[in-house]
Structure 1
Amino acid sequence: MHWKMERIYSRDPVVARGKTIVATLHQPSSELYALFDRILLMAEGRVAFMGTTSQACTFFETLGAACPSNYNPADYFVQMLAVVPGEEISCRHATNTVCDAFQKSEHGVKLALEAEAINGEFEDSLRDSSTNYSKNRSLYKASWCEQFRAVLWRSWLSVIKEPILVKVRLLQTVMVSLLVGIVYFNQRLDQDGVMNINGALFIFLTNMTFQNVFAVISVFCTELPIFLREHRNGMYRTDVYFLCKTLAEAPIFIAVPLLFTVIAYPMIGLYPGIDHFFITAGIVALVANVSTSFGYLISCVSSNLSMALSIGPPVIIPFLLFGGFFLNTASVPIYFEWFSYLSWFRYGNEALLINQWSEVESIECTRSNATCPKSGRMVLQTFNFKQVHVQRIFLISHIEIYRALLYRTLLDRYCLPLLLNCHIPFFGIFGSTVEDLDKFQTTLNVAVAVA
């Protein structure tokens, strides 16, 4: 700290060489305040004053709020412009009064005209320099491979840095799979077992969907401001961030459905055979990754977590209704048929039922007065499912489509960062949004130019 103080006190030789010193301080002492030639006061993203230190005292004196003679002007200005908890309305009213007064003052109008001219020149020069820079070299500080390696490693560390969270998710999967296995334990191939097995398989899909959607629905809401800042600084490309983020979390979304299937499949007594087991596990994993991609997309298009949680469930319900379990695919209204083809529940349910019933030749009928399918083929006919194995292709297509939409949304959010509702502290004194920081950057450029 002593070294920094000496550097500040020795500013005169630096100024003598034609250099401009710009410093941001929180409540500087009166001794430090006396070293400044000009000051810039900002509050709520607006300019409250800009000029010399003597002009600042004169300006506040004209407002009827003169700084006491034995008071540190810096502390006084901070108190005048700060928002006190519990008195937000009155403080913001006073702050706006000060900012409006400076904006309408003769000095403020003069600075505004200078700022407009300088800002226009600055934007033109920045545009020209950006064009020349892009022609000569990349905007990024590292190659694509170096970016990919670094961001992938950081993304993986963010996944494993909270082992308790991973353990909780695995424990949740074990508990739900055990519950499903106990409720549907050891089903027989009779008319009651057909209904129970179909219900259990659909629970596979609903559990994987809701568990994975809500596991990732907060990811981009919280990380998007960091991504925007680092991307603007040229640290990594959008596609690098997108690939690394999805690849780092992929092992979890493969392990969870596999663990669920390993426990629930034998307990329920689904169709025996190692090939049928792995097909079921693969289908459940595909559904889990489709829902994960959908959750990523909802998180990215939402400006905050509350909005994401409000959007997610209502959007999932229509896909659930057209999954072929609650509504037969043959009875879907013609004006909703297009929507049923967008439902990953439909393709997952159809694939699981075909895998379960396609090779069942006989089903025991225990009650003669009830409708009983004689074979697995009749079960599939009841649902209007055809024995064609294209469902997995459609599930993979859903993953690709949602990931492509996610990537496109990331690009749009990068181009329109002001859509964010994030709150960023401004030098620990005033609260500012991203829009306020843009205003401050423009004002700072003008201040340096005027100085």
Structure 2
Amino acid sequence: ALEAPTATDEEPAVKKKEAAVEGRVSWWTQFQVLLHRCSLANKRNPQILQARVGQTLVSALLLGFIFLRLRKGDAISKNGAANFINLNQGMTGLVTVLQTFTTDKIVALREYRSGTYSLVPYFLAKTAADAAFQIFNPVVFFTIAWYMMNLNPSATRWLWGLGFIFLQTNASISMGYLISCMCPDLEIALSVMPLLTMPLILVAGFMIILDSLPRFWIWVPYLSPFRWAFSGIMHAVWEDVELDPCPAGMNPPSCYSSGAEVLEYYCLDGDSMWLNALYLVIMVVGYRVVGLLVLLILNRRN
């Protein structure tokens, strides 16, 4: 009589069958199915969506009332507000991804190891499903804060600033995906995040004048979305703005006679708005690609 197959005999056969099933399904089909599943998962948690929208509205209104209707020459307050918007939206996007993707990834890796689907379609589907929420919040926050604070009445300048805060948020979100892919769980990810983000925040251009940065740190700003977003927002606020002449004996940072002087003081006058945007686009794509590669390398299936 033939002996019944043992559990150890069945496991390789099951894995081969699952791998064969996965191999017959194209990446595009896997992406479509996973995108639908991730979208449904987002819709099943309306309370989380409502909480994020409420947080965005309350934060924007609070910031707007603190810096309410700044005068044209309130350079110090406007610069502080621009820096806060930059840091707030970047860190909000980054932390949100850490809290959601790191925990969701654990389930995805379990299904990946069982041969259900590949990691590349999952990663692309997850990032695409979350994109709608990542677009809405920064647009609402920035628009409310910009006009309540009276940073610049020009609609063109608002559009420039909105574009930079949108790119900054998504670049920070890409950093969040990278950190999530590096770390096995949320606790470790939240511990690693401050170590990686603190240097990037410090070289944004507000806390330290960039020309005074030690030579051995000059490469750090090129990795920082905060640096290029701050420059872009500052250009949107101050470029081509004329202010009242300063009294005799008063010089920056106590008094500015033009927006060009503000940009020059922060060593941002040589920056190009288009180049700033290009750096941020590279980070949006680059950090996600590196994150995906890290995820694949750390979870190679034998």
Tell me whether the two structures share a fold, i.e. TM-score over 0.5: yes
Counterpart check, 1:217 vs 2:98: yes
Q: Tell me which residue corresponds to 1:47.
A: none
Q: Tell me which residue corresponds to 1:422.
A: none
User: Does the CA contact (< 8 Å) of 2:158 and 2:236 recur in 1?
Assistant: no
- Where 1:326 maps in the other structure, the secondary structure is coil
User: Does the CA contact (< 8 Å) of 2:34 and 2:125 recur in 1?
Assistant: yes
Q: CA deviation at 1:157?
A: 1.1
User: Does the CA contact (< 8 Å) of 2:181 and 2:292 recur in 1?
Assistant: no
Instruction: Describe the shift of the 1:283–1:329 C-alpha distance in structure 2 as closer, same or farther (beyond 3 A).
Output: same
What is the total number of aligned residue pairs between the two structures? 293
Q: Tell me which residue corresponds to 1:391.
A: 276
Counterpart check, 1:281 vs 2:162: yes
Instruction: Describe the shift of the 1:304–1:232 C-alpha distance in structure 2 as closer, same or farther (beyond 3 A).
Output: closer
Instruction: Describe the shift of the 1:154–1:139 C-alpha distance in structure 2 as closer, same or farther (beyond 3 A).
Output: closer
Q: CA deviation at 1:242?
A: 1.1
Structure 2 CA distance for aligned equivalents of residues 167 and 367 of structure 1: 50
Q: CA deviation at 1:294?
A: 0.8
Q: CA deviation at 1:163?
A: 0.7
Choose the corresponding residue for 1:308, options 189, 197, 203. 189
Q: Tell me which residue corresponds to 1:271.
A: 152
Higher normalized helix content (fraction of residues): 2
Q: CA deviation at 1:237?
A: 2.1
Q: Tell me which residue corresponds to 2:42.
A: 159
Structure 2 residue ranges without an equivalent (≥5) = none
Counterpart check, 1:299 vs 2:180: yes
Q: CA deviation at 1:221?
A: 3.0
Choose the corresponding residue for 1:412, options 282, 297, 301. 297
1:146-184 Cα distance to aligned partner (Å, 9 max, x none): 211110000111112101101111111111111111111
Q: CA deviation at 1:141?
A: 4.2
User: Does the CA contact (< 8 Å) of 1:222 and 1:304 recur in 2?
Assistant: yes
Q: Tell me which residue corresponds to 1:382.
A: 265
Query: RMSD between aligned alpha carbons?
Result: 2.5
TM-score normalised by L of structure 1 = 0.61
User: Does the CA contact (< 8 Å) of 1:141 and 1:235 recur in 2?
Assistant: no
Alignment map for 1:179-190 (pairs within 5 Å): 179-190=62-73
- Where 2:107 maps in the other structure, the secondary structure is helix
Choose the corresponding residue for 2:109, options 228, 235, 248. 228
Corresponding letter in the other structure for 1:225? I
Q: Tell me which residue corresponds to 2:82.
A: 201
Q: Tell me which residue corresponds to 2:287.
A: 402
Higher normalized strand content (fraction of residues): 1
1:397-437 Cα distance to aligned partner (Å, 9 max, x none): 111111011110110132179xxxxxxxxxxxxxxxxxxxx
- Where 2:205 maps in the other structure, the secondary structure is coil
Q: Which has the higher contact order (CA 8 A, sep 6+)?
A: 2
Q: CA deviation at 1:138?
A: 7.5
- Where 1:217 maps in the other structure, the secondary structure is helix
Q: Tell me which residue corresponds to 1:338.
A: 219
Instruction: Describe the shift of the 1:366–1:185 C-alpha distance in structure 2 as closer, same or farther (beyond 3 A).
Output: farther
TM-score normalised by L of structure 2 = 0.89
Alignment map for 1:12-411 (pairs within 5 Å): 18-20=2-4, 139-190=22-73, 193-360=74-241, 362-364=242-244, 370-371=250-251, 372-385=255-268, 386-389=270-273, 390-411=275-296
Q: Tell me which residue corresponds to 1:27.
A: none
Instruction: Describe the shift of the 1:387–1:22 C-alpha distance in structure 2 as closer, same or farther (beyond 3 A).
Output: closer
User: Does the CA contact (< 8 Å) of 1:147 and 1:235 recur in 2?
Assistant: no
Structure of larger gyration radius: 1
Corresponding letter in the other structure for 2:86? L
Structure 2 CA distance for aligned equivalents of residues 370 and 185 of structure 1: 26
Structure 1 residue ranges without an equivalent (≥5) = 1-15, 24-118, 418-451
Instruction: Describe the shift of the 1:235–1:333 C-alpha distance in structure 2 as closer, same or farther (beyond 3 A).
Output: same
